[in-house]
C-alpha cells in the first residue's frame, strides 16, 4: 500500500500510481474541496475507477478529521493540543466558521454507473483498497426480492404492488425480519454487492430489498444505477437524499441518453387499450357485486390487503378519462411515417381535452394507483395493468411541481421548454382487443381499420435532468468515462457549469499502439460504410478481403465492429456466399455477437477458449458498436490484439426522434441563449457516431503492458475533422494509408517488435485452463476441478455475468482440445443428434418428441446468429493448423467422424441444459396457471404436430412486451417444417424474429447426409506438404533445419498478405 499527499489530502493507493493517475486523483479532490462540478476523461486501462474511489474516500476521511479538529479547537479555546501538529495543518475546514460541526453532516457519496454488473466491478475494486466504508447497493425488487409469491408475478409493476400489499399487512416473513437483521455484524462490516445481499437474505431469511434501503440511511457510499438518480420517479421511489451529497457518474458517456429517456415517454394504443380493459373488467365485477344488495352510493372497493377505498363512481370516471384520451390521440390525421410535431407545451392542451389537468392530477393519480394495486393483488387470472402504470408515470412527469394559479402558465412553459410532442401511427402490430386470437391472420381485417396513433413526449436536452440534480442541493457532480471527447460539446449539452475538466493521457508507450486509417482494400476499392456504398458488392468484397488479410497478420484475438446489426448481418451473408468468410475462418474461427442476450455468454466463452487454445491461431469476434461487446467487456492481452472499425455508426437519419433532436439543437443555436453554447444538429449527429467508435476502440489497450492495433477501415476517417474526434490518446498515432500493402508491412513490423519488447501472455489449452468455466462456478467447485495454480490465474477478460451469478446461464461443459471446440461449433449450428436415453421427465419428453418422427430440434432463440460460419471449421481446426504449418500427419476420415459423433453427443447435453434453463425462466416469469397451460400445449404439439393449435394456446405471451422473449424462446421446440412459419408469426406480433435460416428446416437425416457429403467432398488434410509457393516460412525453415522466422502472410506474387491471388484449392488427400 502506497501513501501520497494530493492537495493536502493523504491518499492510500494499492500500488505506486502513474503520473496520469495522480493527475486524475488531484482533479477529483479539487472538485470535492471546491464544491465544483467536474468532467474527467481517462482512457480505459488507466485505473480510473480505483483512483476515483481512493481519492473520494480519502477526502471524506479528511473531512471527518476536520470536524474532529474543529471540536478540539472549540474545547481548547484556541490552544494547541499537539505542539507538532498545529490546527492550521488541518486546513481551513478546521477553523472556518462555516464548517459543519456534526458528523452527520459529512457528505454522503452517491456512486452511479450504468448497470449493476458495472457496479459489481466497482465494488470489487473497493475491496482491493484499504478503505472500509459503510456501503449500500440499491436495486429493484426484480433483482433483490426473494419472496416466491411476489417473484412469480409477470411484470415489474405488478411485483411492486404485490410487495407493497404484503408489507402493509406484514404478511411477508422476509420483510418482518429486516429490523432485527439490519444490525447484523456480517452485514454492517462487509462490502456487499447485489449478489451478496441476495445470498445473505436467503441465508438469514430477510428481505434484501428493504435491507438495502435500511443500510442506505447509515451508508458512507451508496452504489446505484444512474437511472435511479436521473429518473424523478425512481429517485422518489428509492427515497434518495441528495442535499449536500457528492454525486459521481462513472461510465458517463451514456448519461446524455439516459437523461433524455428518463424524462420522455411513448403512449401506445396498446397501453391505452389495456388500461381500458383492466378498468372495465374491475368496473363490471364490482357493479355485479353491488347489485347483490349494496347500493352504488355506499359501495366501496377494498384494495386487497391495503385498506385503501375507491368509490364505484370514481372507477367509472377513470374509464371515461381513458376513453376520452384514446379518442383525442386517434383524432389526429397523421401522415404515413412522418407524423406530426407540436411544441412541448401542447401536451397540456391535449391532456386537458381528456380532463387531465393540474387540478385533477392528484385525484386521478391516486385512483390509478389504487386500481393497479387492487388488480395486482388479485389471485387467479392475470390482468395486464401495464397501461395503468404507464398513465400514472405520465401524470407524474408532465404535471410535476405544485404551482399556484398565477405561476401555472410559467411553470408549464418551463417544464416543456426542451420537449416536443410527436404523434405518429402505430406500426407495432399489437392488437387492442386482448381477447381476440392474436395469432389469426390479420391481412384482411386490420388493413381496413384505421391504425391507432402513438403519443410521444420527447426530451431533447440532457441538461433538464442535470439541472434537477443541481436543484436538489448536491455538493458537486463528477462525470467520468474513458470516452467523453470532445469535452466541450459534451459539457455544452449538460447545461450546467463544469469548472474542473481533464483529458488524461494513457499509460502506454508509442511501441504499444498502432493506429491506421485504411482507405482502400487490397483490390484498390475504396472502403466506406456510407449509406450509398455499404451494400455495394464491390465494397463488401473489398472489406472481406481486407479483414481476411488482417486476420493473417494480427496475432491471437481480432475484434471487428460494424455500425449496426443489419449491416453486420448483410455483410456476413455476402461473405459466406462469396468465400470471404471461409478465408477468415481458415485462420481465425469466427464468432458473432447475437442480437439477444440469451446466448451471448456462451459465444464469448467459445471465443475466449479458442484464443486460449495453443493449437489455434486465435479467433475473430464480430460485433456492433453500442452493443454489449463494445461497452461491457474487457478484451485484454491476447483476447484483443487488434480492433477493426468497419464504419461510422451514425444514428438512423430518418428516425423521427433523430430528426427532431437535430432540429431542436439548430433552433437553440439560433436563439443563442446567454451563457449556454449548444451543438448544431449536424455536430451532435457526428458526435454520436464517434462516441460509439471511441467506446469500441477502448476494448483493446487495457493496461500498461498491453499492446494492440486500431484499424479504421473507412475512408471518411482520413479527414482532419474525423481524426479530431478520436480520443486524445489515439490522435498522435493515427496514420493514413492509401496503399494496402504498406499497411500490412507496417502492421507486421509493429507486432514483431511488440512481441519482442512486451511480455507474452501464455496461451492455455481448454483442458489446461478452466478459467471461463470457473467464472460461473462457485469457488468450491473451481477448486476441485482446477489445480491451485490454475485457480489463481488472473482473469484477463471479464464477462458481464461473472459479477452477477443470478444472470449466469449454465456454462457449456469444459472439454479439452479440438473436441471441446468442435462441440461448440456443432451446437451453435444446430447439428443435434438423438439422445440414447429414455425420457425420464417432461423436459426429456419435450426434447425427444421430434426424434420419434425423425426430425431435428431447432436451435435456441437467436443461436444461429452466434454460430461459426462453416459447419466443419472447428471440427477440423487442429488439422487445418497442421496443414497450414506444412505438417505431414496422416489423419483418416473415420477418425474425424468419431470426433464429430462425440462432439454431437456433448452438444445434446448442452441443449438439455438450455431447455431446462428456458423452462425455469418461463416458470419464474409466468403465473403457475399460464405456465402449466403452455407446458401442456407443448406436449400436445409434440403428439399432434398441430402448429395452429400451439399458436392459439400461447397467445398469452403476446399480451405483455416482457414475455415476447419467452414466445420467441418456444422456437427451440418447433419442428423443422414449422420453423419458418413460426418465425414469421413472431416477427409480425413482437417485431422480432427467432433467427430463422433455411438450414433450420432440414430434418436430422437431411443434415446427416449434408455433413457426410461435405466431409467426403472436402479433403481437409493432405499427407504431402503443399506446393512450395504455398508453404509457410515456418515450414520451409523447419524442413531445412533452420530457426523459423517470425510469422508473416506472403503469397506467390511476393506481395505481403495479398488477396488478389488467393491460393488455389488444396490437392486431393492421399489415403
* Residue 407, number of CB atoms within 10 A of its CB: 12
Statement: residue 1043 has pLDDT above 60:
no
* Residue 435, number of CB atoms within 10 A of its CB: 8
- At 501, is the secondary structure helix, strand, or coil? strand
Percentage of the chain beyond pLDDT 90 is: 31
Q: How far apart are CA 425 and CA 189, in angstroms?
A: 55
Q: How far apart are CA 234 and CA 228, in angstroms?
A: 5
* Separation in Å, CA 24 to CA 53, 73, 254, 362, 732: 11, 33, 21, 47, 21
On whether the CB atoms of residues 613 and 817 are closer than 8 A, the answer is: yes
Q: Which is it for strands 642-645 and 619-624: parallel, antiparallel or unpaired?
A: unpaired
- Would you give the DSSP letter of residue 812? P
- In this predicted structure, which of 268-282, 518-532, 544-558, 826-840 has the lowest mean pLDDT? 826-840
1061 labelled ligand-binding: no
Statement: residue 999 has pLDDT above 90:
no
Burial class (CB in 10 A: 0-12, 13-18, 19+), 119: buried
| Confidence at residue 78, expressed as pLDDT on a 0 to 100 scale | 56
Q: How far apart are CA 479 and CA 41, in angstroms?
A: 8
476 labelled ligand-binding: no
Q: Which is it for strands 419-425 and 340-343: parallel, antiparallel or unpaired?
A: antiparallel
* Separation in Å, CA 236 to CA 229, 230, 400, 811: 9, 11, 12, 39
Grid cell of 244 as nine digits: 449536500
Residue-wise burial string across 746-781, b where 16 or more C-beta atoms lie within 10 A, e elsewhere: ebbebbeebeeeeeebebbbbebbbbbbbbbbeeee
136 labelled ligand-binding: no
Q: What are phi and psi of 422, to 5 degrees?
A: -130, 125
Q: How far apart are CA 26 and CA 42, in angstroms?
A: 13
Percentage of the chain beyond pLDDT 70 is: 71
Burial class (CB in 10 A: 0-12, 13-18, 19+), 818: buried
Which residues sit opposite 709 in a β-bridge? 514, 642
| Confidence at residue 519, expressed as pLDDT on a 0 to 100 scale | 93
- The HSE-up count of residue 684 (CA atoms within 13 Å, CB side) is 26
Statement: residue 637 has pLDDT above 50:
yes
Q: Which of these, 253, 282, 203, 243, lies nearest to 108 by C-alpha position?
A: 243
DSSP 735-774: EEES-HHHHHHHHHHHHHHHHHHSPPPPP--TTT--HHHH
Q: State the pLDDT confidence band at 77, using cuts at 50, 70 and 90.
A: low
Query: pLDDT tens digit string along 505-556?
Result: 888 888 899 999 999 999 999 999 998 888 999 999 999 999 999 999 999 9
Query: pLDDT tens digit string along 680-728?
Result: 899 889 988 998 998 899 888 888 888 999 999 999 999 988 988 888 8
910-914 contacts at long range (C-beta below 8 A, 24 or more positions apart): 910/812, 910/813, 910/823, 910/827, 911/827, 911/832, 911/847, 911/857, 911/860, 911/972, 912/835, 912/843, 912/844, 912/847, 913/810, 914/809, 914/810, 914/860, 914/972
Q: How far apart are CA 794 and CA 1030, in angstroms?
A: 39
- Would you give the DSSP letter of residue 520? B
Largest CA-CA distance found in the chain, in angstroms, rounded: 104
Query: pLDDT tens digit string along 376-398?
Result: 766 655 678 889 989 999 999 99
| Confidence at residue 699, expressed as pLDDT on a 0 to 100 scale | 85
| Confidence at residue 633, expressed as pLDDT on a 0 to 100 scale | 74
500-503 sheet: strands from edge to edge: 135-137, 221-225, 109-113, 246-249, 476-481, 38-41, 500-503
Q: Which of these, 1014, 1066, 1030, 1063, lies nearest to 875 by C-alpha position?
A: 1014
| Confidence at residue 536, expressed as pLDDT on a 0 to 100 scale | 92
Q: Which of these, 662, 703, 713, lies nearest to 686 by C-alpha position?
A: 662
Range list of β-strands (E), 185-263: 221-225, 246-249
| Confidence at residue 292, expressed as pLDDT on a 0 to 100 scale | 67
How many angstroms from the chain centroid is the CA of residue 42?
A: 22
Q: State the pLDDT confidence band at 835, using cuts at 50, 70 and 90.
A: very low
Statement: residue 943 has pLDDT above 50:
yes
Residue labelled with grid coordinates 381476440? 436
| Confidence at residue 420, expressed as pLDDT on a 0 to 100 scale | 94
Query: pLDDT tens digit string along 888-924?
Result: 444 444 444 444 444 444 445 556 777 878 888 888 7
Statement: residue 601 has pLDDT above 70:
yes
- In this predicted structure, which of 113-122, 270-279, 446-455 has the lowest mean pLDDT? 446-455
Q: State the pLDDT confidence band at 103, using cuts at 50, 70 and 90.
A: low
Amino acid at each position: 500500500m502506497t501513501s501520497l499527499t494530493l492537495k493536502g489530502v493523504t491518499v492510500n493507493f494499492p500500488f505506486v500510481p502513474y503520473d496520469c493517475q495522480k493527475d486524475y486523483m488531484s482533479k477529483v479532490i479539487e472538485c470535492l474541496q471546491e464544491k465544483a462540478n467536474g468532467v474527467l476523461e481517462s482512457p480505459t486501462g488507466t485505473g480510473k475507477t480505483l483512483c476515483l474511489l481512493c481519492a473520494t474516500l480519502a477526502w471524506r476521511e479528511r473531512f471527518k478529521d476536520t470536524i474532529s479538529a474543529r471540536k478540539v479547537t472549540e474545547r481548547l479555546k484556541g490552544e494547541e493540543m499537539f505542539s507538532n501538529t498545529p490546527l492550521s495543518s488541518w486546513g481551513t475546514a478546521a477553523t472556518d466558521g462555516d464548517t459543519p460541526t456534526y458528523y452527520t453532516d459529512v457528505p454522503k457519496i452517491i456512486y452511479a454507473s450504468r448497470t449493476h454488473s458495472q457496479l459489481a466491478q466497482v465494488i470489487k475494486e473497493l475491496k482491493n483498497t484499504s478503505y472500509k466504508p459503510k456501503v449500500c447497493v440499491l436495486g429493484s425488487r426484480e433483482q433483490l426480492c426473494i419472496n416466491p409469491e411476489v417473484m412469480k408475478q409477470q411484470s415489474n409493476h405488478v411485483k411492486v404492488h404485490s410487495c407493497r400489499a404484503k408489507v402493509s399487512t406484514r404478511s411477508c416473513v422476509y420483510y418482518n425480519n429486516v429490523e432485527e437483521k439490519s444490525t447484523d455484524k456480517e452485514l454492517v462490516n462487509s462490502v456487499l454487492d447485489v449478489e451478496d445481499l441476495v445470498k445473505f437474505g436467503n441465508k438469514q431469511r430477510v428481505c434484501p430489498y428493504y435491507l438495502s434501503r435500511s443500510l442506505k440511511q447509515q451508508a458512507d457510499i451508496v452504489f446505484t444505477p444512474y437511472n435511479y438518480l436521473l429518473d424523478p420517479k425512481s429517485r422518489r421511489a428509492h427515497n434518495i437524499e441528495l442535499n449536500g451529497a457528492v454525486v459521481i457518474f462513472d461510465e458517463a458517456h451514456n448519461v446524455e441518453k439516459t437523461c433524455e429517456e428518463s424524462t420522455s415517454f411513448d403512449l401506445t394504443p396498446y397501453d391505452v387499450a389495456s388500461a381500458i380493459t383492466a378498468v372495465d373488467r374491475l368496473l363490471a365485477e364490482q357493479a355485479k357485486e353491488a347489485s347483490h344488495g349494496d347500493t352504488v352510493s355506499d359501495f366501496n372497493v377494498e384494495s386487497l390487503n391495503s385498506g385503501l377505498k375507491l368509490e364505484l363512481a370514481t372507477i367509472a370516471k377513470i374509464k371515461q378519462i381513458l376513453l376520452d384520451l384514446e379518442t383525442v390521440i386517434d383524432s389526429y390525421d397523421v401522415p404515413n411515417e412522418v407524423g406530426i410535431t407540436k411544441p412541448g407545451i401542447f401536451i397540456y392542451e391535449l391532456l386537458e381535452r381528456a380532463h387531465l389537468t393540474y387540478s385533477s392530477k392528484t385525484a386521478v393519480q391516486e385512483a390509478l394507483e389504487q386500481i393497479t394495486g387492487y388488480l395486482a393483488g388479485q389471485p387467479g387470472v392475470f390482468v395486464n395493468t401495464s397501461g395503468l402504470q404507464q398513465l400514472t408515470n405520465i401524470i407524474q412527469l408532465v404535471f410535476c411541481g405544485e404551482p399556484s394559479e398565477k405561476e401555472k402558465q410559467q411553470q408549464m412553459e418551463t417544464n416543456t421548454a426542451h420537449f416536443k410532442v410527436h404523434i405518429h401511427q402505430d406500426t407495432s402490430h399489437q392488437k387492442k382487443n386482448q381477447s381476440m386470437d392474436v395469432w389469426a391472420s390479420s391481412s384482411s381485417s386490420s388493413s381496413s381499420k384505421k391504425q391507432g396513433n402513438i403519443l410521444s413526449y420527447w426530451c431533447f436536452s440532457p441538461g433538464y435532468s442535470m439541472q434537477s440534480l443541481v436543484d436538489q442541493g448536491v455538493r458537486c457532480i463528477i462525470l467520468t468515462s474513458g470516452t467523453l471527447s470532445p469535452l466541450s460539446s459534451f459539457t455544452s449539452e449538460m447545461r450546467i457549469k463544469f469548472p474542473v475538466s481533464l483529458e488524461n493521457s494513457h499509460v502506454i508507450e508509442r511501441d504499444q499502439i498502432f493506429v491506421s486509417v485504411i482507405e482502400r482494400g487490397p483490390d484498390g476499392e475504396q472502403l466506406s460504410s456510407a449509406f450509398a456504398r455499404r451494400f455495394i458488392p464491390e465494397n463488401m468484397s473489398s472489406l472481406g478481403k481486407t479483414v481476411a488479410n488482417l486476420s493473417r497478420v494480427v496475432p491471437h484475438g481480432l475484434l471487428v465492429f460494424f455500425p449496426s446489426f443489419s449491416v453486420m448481418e448483410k455483410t456476413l451473408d455476402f461473405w459466406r456466399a462469396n468465400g470471404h468468410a471461409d478465408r477468415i475462418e481458415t485462420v481465425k474461427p469466427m464468432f458473432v455477437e447475437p442480437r439477444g442476450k440469451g446466448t451471448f455468454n456462451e459465444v464469448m466463452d467459445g471465443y475466449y477458449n479458442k484464443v486460449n487454445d495453443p493449437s489455434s491461431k486465435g479467433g475473430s469476434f464480430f460485433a456492433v458498436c453500442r452493443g454489449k461487446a463494445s461497452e461491457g467487456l474487457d478484451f485484454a492481452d491476447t483476447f484483443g490484439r487488434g480492433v477493426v472499425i468497419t464504419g461510422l455508426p451514425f444514428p438512423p437519419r430518418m428516425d423521427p426522434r433523430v430528426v427532431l433532436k437535430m432540429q431542436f439543437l439548430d433552433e437553440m443555436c439560433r436563439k443563442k441563449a446567454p451563457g449556454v453554447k449548444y451543438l448544431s444538429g449536424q455536430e451532435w449527429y457526428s458526435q454520436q457516431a464517434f462516441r460509439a467508435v471511441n467506446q469500441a476502440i477502448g476494448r483493446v489497450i487495457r493496461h500498461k503492458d498491453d499492446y494492440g492495433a486500431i484499424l479504421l477501415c473507412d475512408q471518411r476517417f482520413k479527414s482532419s475533422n474525423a481524426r479530431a474526434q478520436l480520443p486524445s490518446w489515439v490522435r498522435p498515432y493515427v496514420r493514413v494509408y492509401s496503399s494496402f500493402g504498406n499497411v500490412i508491412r507496417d502492421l507486421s513490423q509493429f507486432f514483431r517488435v511488440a512481441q519482442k519488447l512486451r511480455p507474452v501472455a501464455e496461451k492455455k489449452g481448454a483442458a489446461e485452463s478452466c478459467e471461463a468455466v470457473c467464472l460461473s462456478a462457485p469457488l468450491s467447485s473451481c477448486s476441485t476441478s482446477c489445480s491451485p495454480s490454475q485457480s489463481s490465474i488472473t482473469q484477463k477478460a471479464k464477462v458481464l455475468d461473472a459479477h452477477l451469478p443470478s444472470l449466469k446461464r449454465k456454462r457449456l461443459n469444459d472439454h479439452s482440445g479440438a473436441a471441446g471446440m468442435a462441440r461448440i461449433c456443432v451446437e451453435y449450428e444446430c447439428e443435434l443428434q438423438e439422445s440414447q436415453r429414455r425420457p425420464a421427465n417432461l423436459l426429456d419428453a419435450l426434447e425427444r418428441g421430434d426424434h420419434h418422427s425423425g426430425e431435428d430440434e431447432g436451435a435456441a432463440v437467436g443461436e444461429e446468429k452466434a454460430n461459426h460460419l462453416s459447419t466443419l471449421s472447428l471440427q477440423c481446426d487442429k488439422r487445418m493448423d497442421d496443414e497450414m504449418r506444412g505438417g505431414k500427419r496422416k489423419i483418416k476420415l473415420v477418425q474425424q467422424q468419431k470426433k464429430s459423433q462425440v462432439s454431437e453427443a456433448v452438444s445434446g447435453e448442452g441443449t438439455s441444459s438450455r431447455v431446462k434453463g428456458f423452462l425455469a425462466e418461463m416458470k419464474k416469469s409466468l403465473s403457475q396457471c399460464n405456465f402449466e397451460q403452455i407446458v401442456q400445449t407443448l406436449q400436445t404439439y409434440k403428439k399432434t404436430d398441430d402448429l395452429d393449435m400451439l399458436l392459439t394456446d400461447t397467445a398469452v405471451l403476446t399480451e405483455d412486451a416482457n414475455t415476447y422473449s419467452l414466445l420467441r424462446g418456444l422456437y427451440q421446440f418447433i419442428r423443422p417444417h414449422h420453423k419458418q412459419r413460426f418465425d414469421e408469426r413472431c416477427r409480425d406480433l413482437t417485431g422480432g424474429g427467432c433467427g430463422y435460416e433455411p438450414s433450420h428446416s432440414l430434418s436430422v437425416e437431411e443434415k446427416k447426409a449434408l455433413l457426410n457429403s461435405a466431409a467426403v467432398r472436402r479433403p481437409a488434410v493432405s499427407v504431402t506438404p503443399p506446393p512450395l509457393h504455398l508453404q509457410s516460412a515456418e515450414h520451409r525453415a523447419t524442413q531445412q533445419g533452420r530457426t523459423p522466422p517470425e510469422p508473416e502472410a506472403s503469397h506467390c506474387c511476393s506481395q505481403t498478405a495479398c488477396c488478389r491471388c488467393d491460393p488455389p484449392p488444396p490437392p486431393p488427400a492421399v489415403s
